[in-house]
Amino acid sequence: MLNLPVLRALAAKNPQARFTLVGYPETLSLAENFIPVEAIHSIESPPWSGLFAGPVRNLAFDAAFVWMSDSIVADNLRASGIPEVSHFKAFPETGHAATHLLATAGLPMPDLPDLWRRGSDRVIIHPGSGSPSKCWPWFEQLSARIPNSILLTGPAEMHFHSDRPRMPSLRLATVAEEIRSCRAFIGNDSGITHLAAYWGCPTIALFGPTDPRIWGPIGRRVRTLWRMPLSDISVDEVRSLL
């Protein structure tokens, strides 16, 4: 999600360009809302996975941008005959990650998008994250005190106990559409929280062990609560931001 600003900036600088994105397809598909995407491929499938071992034949591109710690993929893209290959470190040493990615390409931050179109009074609550240490422990109590709340859960959150209605195991594109029309979104440090914030949905992001000054979500209507330990953020404090 934090790559979207630099992709949008590249598209604005090169209005005739069409983009082929290589990485994790379901996540990359979200970029279709913002830039002209010609194709999306998995980095784990041929011929793209072959770039970790050597050059690949018949790659007809004008330019390639690679954000990875190691230069091997960029080196092999050059050896594959792509005339302009730019390789940058993916993670910042200082400052926000999205700002770092833009700086590597020498591009300014584009205007924040606004895809939010409120169509209901629902408050979407996503209690999960990629790490248990990033999960705020009071979501069950919070959801009980928000009458119009609905839980967004996947396989990792099936253990979560609540009497509130759920939206279980939705595809990412469907999640994005649900977030576009809700009243507000509340979540941990997670990809879904980044999605909600960047879409322009009113978002409350709860951070603990991760520094939001580097990895915080960006968007028009995002507010971040950051506390260590994460459990020190109270239910009342979160509700006061709704």
Digit-coded pLDDT (tens) for 65-89: 999 999 999 999 999 999 999 999 9
pLDDT at 51 over 90: yes
* The domain over range 123-239 is classified in CATH as 3.40.50.2000: yes
Work out the percent of the chain whose per-residue pLDDT is above 70: 100
Tokens standing for residue 183: 């009243």
Going by pLDDT thresholds of 50, 70 and 90, the confidence category of residue 169 is: confident
Question: Tell me, what's the pLDDT at 89?
Answer: 95
Are 93 and 101 within 8 A, CB to CB? no
Average pLDDT over residues 191-213: 97
Question: Tell me, what's the pLDDT at 3?
Answer: 96
Average pLDDT, the chain: 96
Question: Tell me, what's the pLDDT at 154?
Answer: 83
- The DSSP symbol for 196 reads H
Question: Tell me, what's the pLDDT at 219?
Answer: 98
* For the chain, domain boundaries: 4-104, 123-239
Tell me the pTM: 0.95
CA distance 96 to 185: 22
Question: Edge-to-edge strands of the sheet including 166-168?
Answer: 166-168, 149-153, 123-126, 184-188, 203-207, 222-226
Average pLDDT over residues 10-24: 97
Q: Residue 97: phi, psi to the nearest 5? A: -60, -40
CA distance 110 to 198: 12
